[in-house]
Chains A and B, each alone.
Chain A
Amino acid sequence: MPNQGNVLLVDDNAGDRELVQLSLQDSHCAGEIVVARDGAEALDFLYRRGDFSERTGPPPAIILLDIKMPRVNGIEVLGKIRSDPQLRLIPVVMLTSSPQGRDVEVCYRMGANGYVVKPFDFAQFTATTRTIAQFWCSLNEIPSGVVA
């Protein structure tokens, strides 16, 4: 399917990254899946720095962001994105391991578009990531002016 949005997947856990990638690839509902292993790498990608200095192409249609990560955590990345006029319109869904009440509030207050706890059940896990990708990569329109 043409014009499917890309996904920036930010997660320090290799197993979780693989599960998200597997479920999205099987479903054919997202474009390219770019992987960042922590918040610092994610910011490198968004600001075209480090390994991503040569990057071209459109901004991701959705950022799937884990919270607890080394170096720069997900909440810090979310804060950075929402405070930068050039990035702040990119949809961000927190995809996290832990259903922590306080994190949920903090993330929504900081402008997250969703807060999803990774389900244990693989069928549910697949269904969840596919639903997110389907909505944000195929159905949702990003306003022009996002430069990342």
Chain B
Amino acid sequence: MATILIVDDDPQTRQLYVSLLSPLGHKVIEASDGEKGIRAATESHPALVISDVLMPNISGYEFVSRLRQLPQFATVPFIFQSASLFDHQTRALGATCGVTHFIPKPSEPETILEVVHSALGSSAQLPPAAPAPPTVTEHIPWLLDAVYERSRELEAVNHTLEQRLSELAATNQELEAFTYTVAHDLRAPVRHISAFGELLSQKFSHALPDDGRMLLNRILRASHQMGVLVDDLLRFSRLGRVQIQRNRVDLNRIVQAVRLDLKPDLEGRDIDWQIQELPEIEGDQSLLYQAIANLVSNAVKYSQRQPHAQIEIGTSESGGENTVIFVRDNGAGFEMEYAAKLFQVFERLHAAEEYEGNGIGLAIVKRIVDHHGGRVWAEGSPGKGATFYLSLPAGKGEYAKPRERAAGR
């Protein structure tokens, strides 16, 4: 039989405690806020105080701190009810005010009774609790308010982010549909101009005067360029959502394959190739092929006016875990002040009449390198050539040094 004080601004919670504890012979006294709780406590001398944490006027922390400062309540056991969200903080803060027990909200009646009886039994052993330093108790309500304010802000931000995310997903879907339309509906007419023009040239070229043949050839060249542009654009846009497949990639084999594929462009050219031994890295084979193919074919293209072109492919010293490879040519080069523009889509530093191109190739290289978590940059000067660098994560040790691993077994 004990007198128990329950302080809670919610009448239903108070009623729950009354109906649970009264039948067991306890005298339950109710108070709807901290001030009333302090008055009720000094009048009825309860053997146990149960309090809510969040209450109007004064919080549970202030309530218990003020009660603890009265000598007759220095050792009275004290229970906090707390919502599980802030359980950890509540316990830590509560302990500094001398709260000995906690009841999570909501709880089964069995749990409540268990905690109440354990608290009642503990009153004798309770050491005199030192009153919490006033600085702590003063800051507690402020802290608690700040925590709740912050969590409300976070909820609002989360909500906005979720909205943005679904808007972005919708925009992405629209873009994909647009790409599909470009792919399908633009490719067909371009293909027809190109194919029927070719047929015209094959079958009736002899019937055309020289200037007519010249005009037809211009149409054919333009439609070919248009075809390449549409395909490059598609490749570029697809890279936006590609998932990279990481494997062991031998850069030497990629360079070999790239040179083989470029053979038609090398006819009639005098190129001095200097190719160093390249490392193996971890990456997406087909994407890396595309990136290196673009760089090497650029080197071939921009060195076409050199009677003795030189193209060098190799690795340069890298700091840390990245592998740096470079492709260098002695071709047209560029002015360094425009270096940043090189990798932007549709940006070109040379007129199309000088060097064929559409300004997508290096943007594709950048996207591929970005996907690998690497970096790309260029150095050059007009008339003296250009060097393009790729810095790529070398990958796990097992990939970086395959020969040593083999020798160890």
Contact = CB atoms under 8 A, between A and B. Distances in A.
Contacts of B187: 97-98, 118, 120
A118 B223 CA distance: 15
Contacts of B192: 15-16, 19
B198 A120 contact: no
A121 interface: yes
A13 B192 CA distance: 10
B227 interface: yes
Contact of A120 (B183, B184, B227, B238): B227
Contacts of A16: 188, 191-192
Contacts, number: 58
B188 A121 contact: no
A125 B199 CA distance: 12
B180 interface: yes
B184 A97 contact: yes
A101 interface: yes
A39 to B, nearest CB: 15
- For the complex, would chain B's binding face be called helix, strand, loop or mixed by DSSP majority? helix
A123 B227 CA distance: 14
Interface in B196-241: 196, 198-199, 223-224, 227-228, 231, 234, 238
A120 B234 contact: no
B194 A122 contact: yes
Is the interface on chain A under 10, 10 to 19, 20 to 34, or 35 or more residues? 10 to 19
A120 B194 contact: yes
Interface in A119-134: 119-123, 125
Contacts of B93: none
B74 interface: no
Contacts of B234: 98-99
A119 B187 CA distance: 9
A118 B190 CA distance: 11
12 contacts: A19-B191, A19-B192, A19-B195, A19-B196, A68-B184, A97-B191, A98-B184, A101-B242, A120-B190, A120-B191, A121-B227, A122-B194
